[in-house]
Amino acid sequence: MSMDARPSDVRRRAFYIFIVSATLFGLGQFHRLSGAVTLPPIAADLGLGIESLGFVAAALFFTSAFLQIPNGLLLDRYGARRVMPAFVGFAVIGCLMLAWATTYEEVLISRMLLGGGFSVTMMSAYVLFAKWYPVEKFATVASWMMAASSLGSILSSWPLAYFIDQFGWRPAYLIVAGVTVVAMIVAVLVIRDAPPGYRKSNKQPTTLRESLTGYSAVLKFPRFFFLLAMGFVAFAPATALLGMWGGPYLASQYQLDGVEAGQILFAMVVAIPVGALVFGPMDRFIPSRKVIVLTAVAAEIVAFLILGLTENLPLWGAVILLIAIAFLQQHYVVLAAHCRAAFPDHLVGRANSTLNLTSILGVGFFQSMFGWGLALFPDRGYAISFLCFAVFLGLASFLYLWSAETLAEEEETALDGKA
């Protein structure tokens, strides 16, 4: 049934849920992408070496990745209305703790709490959208959420750099903590797990054992591994740059200060909602999601090869390539729609949480890889890291070619395997 044919109160509730989901996801994006702006001044104030911050930046993502499977279990069993606000409460604690941090260990624990608290926001939104919107609009609605939530990404760049330059990083985290509390309260009041009359699958888990069995079923889908290979690299490139290494790269290679680098990062995050709004509708007009994803990734590979192989690349050239990478990364909304289309409703939460787990692990890995590259090759670390990105994207593209487009294709493969 088309969502437009439903009663107006259902459409209105769906819109409110969309706004709350986008706000909470946007707050998570703020923390995921603000590291390139906040961590250097934190390191300077606390007397920490910039090279020691690679793991601090990655800790947010590793914690989020660790929780993806439990998140999927909790969402499928208890619903987003109860799970999402409870998790975001831990993010508020992490935000306040970071505002008062005085040691490396406190910064690390704060980042872990932020990663854990916001680990559930994207998956909660996907589970809610799967129930409140028709399947053919899933990618479009997901792209709208990515675009709307980009306000958090935008604020994490030049505006945050300017605020820190004027008032310091501690007041910034106190303000964000207050905004998060308000958003959490609104979520409790607005979110409903399903519209009236929604027909819940009789395969929906009712026990922990059934939930774990569902993960087993997800992992047994014949060609899911090939989709996960793309998931590992899909979200990592621009996120690693915006979340930590973009600022130090621009400072090291082009001698930009924090505000100047923040302006370039600002341009990158502006490209994110533009990319989401471009890639989302493509899902409805181009028959193959794989073609969309592979074309975007091929362009990313070219960008990273130029960054890695071109010596004395002018600043304007680097800026264009960095913005292009941020824009192209938004093919992730199509990849998420691909994952959603390959699974029945009762497995959507666990399938997408597995994809998220893989994607977030990829971000943590590549953020750490930058640190390793700089430690081993101080003069060529950035170039080598960019080339490694290109290689990993190429390998993932080759494996992704073998993924199934739809649930019917997955089931056909499973039947062929049993024949």
Each residue's pLDDT tens digit, 91-140: 999 999 999 999 999 999 999 999 999 999 988 998 898 888 877 777 77
- Residue 252 pLDDT > 80: yes
Burial class (CB in 10 A: 0-12, 13-18, 19+), 217: middle
Nearest to 241 by CA among 319, 313, 298, 162: 319
Q: Give the C-alpha separation, 100 to 344, whole Å.
A: 45
Q: Which whole number is the average pLDDT over 131-153?
A: 80
Q: Which residues of 104-118 are buried (b: 16+ CB within 10 A; e: fewer)?
A: beebbbbbbbbbbbb
pLDDT band at 77 (very low <50, low <70, confident <90, very high): confident
Neighbours of 152 (CB within 10 A): 24
- Residue 259 pLDDT > 90: no
Q: Give the C-alpha separation, 297 to 292, whole Å.
A: 9
Q: Which two tokens mark 237?
A: 């490139």
> Mean pLDDT lowest for which of 149-158, 211-220, 259-268, 290-299?
211-220
Nearest to 364 by CA among 271, 272, 240: 240
Tell me the chain's radius of gyration from C-alpha atoms.
21
Q: Which two tokens mark 47?
A: 């007397």
> Mean pLDDT lowest for which of 53-62, 273-282, 406-415?
406-415
pLDDT band at 365 (very low <50, low <70, confident <90, very high): confident
Residue with tokens 């750099």, as numbered in its chain: 161
Is residue 127 within 8 Å of residue 80, measured between CB atoms? yes
- Residue 332 pLDDT > 50: yes
Of 95 and 381, which is predicted with more confidence?
A: 95
Q: Give the C-alpha separation, 138 to 334, whole Å.
A: 10
Q: What is the pLDDT of residues 16-46, one digit of tens each?
A: 999 999 999 999 989 988 888 898 899 889 8
Which residues lie below 8 Å from residue 305, measured CB to CB, with a gap of 6+?
386, 387, 390
- Residue 227 pLDDT > 50: yes
Give domain limits for the chain: 3-194+208-414
Q: What percent of the chain has pLDDT over 90?
A: 37
In the prediction, which pLDDT does 206 show?
Answer: 54
Q: Give the C-alpha separation, 183 to 304, whole Å.
A: 37
Which residues lie below 8 Å from residue 113, measured CB to CB, with a gap of 6+?
63, 90, 91, 93, 94, 97
- Residue 210 pLDDT > 70: no
Nearest to 349 by CA among 70, 14, 82, 85: 70
pLDDT band at 418 (very low <50, low <70, confident <90, very high): very low
Q: Which whole number is the average pLDDT over 71-90?
A: 87
Nearest to 307 by CA among 233, 255, 254, 263: 254
Nearest to 249 by CA among 171, 308, 181, 335: 308
In the prediction, which pLDDT does 232 show?
Answer: 94
CATH-assigned architecture of domain 3-194+208-414: Up-down Bundle (1.20)
> Mean pLDDT lowest for which of 34-43, 257-266, 370-379, 389-398?
370-379
Measured CA distances, 159 to 68, 154, 259, 263, 272 (Å):
31, 8, 9, 8, 16
- Residue 303 pLDDT > 80: yes
Is residue 405 within 8 Å of residue 242, measured between CB atoms? no
Q: What percent of the chain has pLDDT over 70?
A: 89
Instruction: Quote the strand ranges of 168-207, DSSP E.
Output: none
To 10 degrees, the CA torsion angle through 37, 39, 45, 46?
Answer: 180
pLDDT band at 3 (very low <50, low <70, confident <90, very high): very low
Q: Which residues of 258-271 are buried (b: 16+ CB within 10 A; e: fewer)?
A: bebbbbbbbbbbbb
In the prediction, which pLDDT does 158 show?
Answer: 86
Neighbours of 376 (CB within 10 A): 10
pTM for this one?
Answer: 0.74
Residue length, the chain?
Answer: 419
- At residue 48, φ and ψ (nearest 5 deg) are -105, 145
pLDDT band at 6 (very low <50, low <70, confident <90, very high): low
Across the chain, mean pLDDT equals: 85
The torsion region of residue 312 among left (phi > 0), alpha (psi -120 to 50) and beta comes to: left
Of 185 and 196, which is predicted with more confidence?
A: 185
Q: Give the C-alpha separation, 28 to 15, whole Å.
A: 20
